[in-house]
Chain A
Amino acid sequence: MGIYPKSLERLIEHLSRLPGIGQKSAARIALHVLRSDKQLSEDLAMSLIAVKEKIRLCSVCFNITDDDPCRICSDENRADGTLCVVEGPGDQLALEEPGTFKGRYHVLHGVLSPLDGIGPKDLKINELLSRISKEKIREVILATNPTAEGETTASFIAGTLLKDRLDLKITRIALGVPMGGDLKYMDRMTIEHAMKSRMPVEL
């Protein structure tokens, strides 16, 4: 404490509050900012403020976006009729990365978590239901994470959807052995799922 000038000290303190940045990395970043030209600081400050001021939720899919509706919701080349339901914006980004899914998304903003006092009303589930009828959805892909709360959220949504739409196709992302995985170190549950969802070999 107190070995740097006050303004530098303050920058280090703010940086070290960010996830994954400890005291040492914070000091390294702060010193780098100090040595760089002023443009870097200005750009950095402006982009930090822009994130807070410009980013909002898309009124259709509830993903974070600069423009409403978001890029994916306003893209006419994406397939209508298929909706992929995810927990949060980070999950949507991960699914979008391979570029193979051409449908649309719906972001729940969390999972059912009674321990934390989060119930169905706290997630974007009602919004999902109204999209299903409005957008003539035929398939819903439930892509919540395979945790206790993610699984429960998926089955809760499936149950709710099927109550008034028996013709709706509902699928769940597969659970199994990951790339580069080793069966010896897999847990029982994963192995059970992997065996259950095995696929015919195509040559």
Chain B
Amino acid sequence: MPKAFTPKVITANHLAEGDVVYLTSGDEWTRDLSQADLLTDEAIAEARLVEASTQHHLVVGVYLADMKAGENGPEPVHFREEFRRRGPSNYFHGKQAATA
């Protein structure tokens, strides 16, 4: 039996600012994970990744990150993505400060 596909979002860093961004269903880059498009189909995820990777004038280091569906949109399943959406733990900098 093929392994169940873990849902994913497309994520990258913003070219000019360097901060973490996610791709929405409308093909816009957002700084807010809850706005990201949760991709549940592997073939679509791969196709959208190829498409997003061509946007090198907007973003850097595009990849697919594992997520699960939460009440407020996609949520990380791994701690690395948790830190990416929040910011560092030693200072109140990064996303946590921007959204506070």
Our verdict on whether A and B bind, yes or no, reads no
| Chain A residues packing against B (C-beta within 8 Å) | none
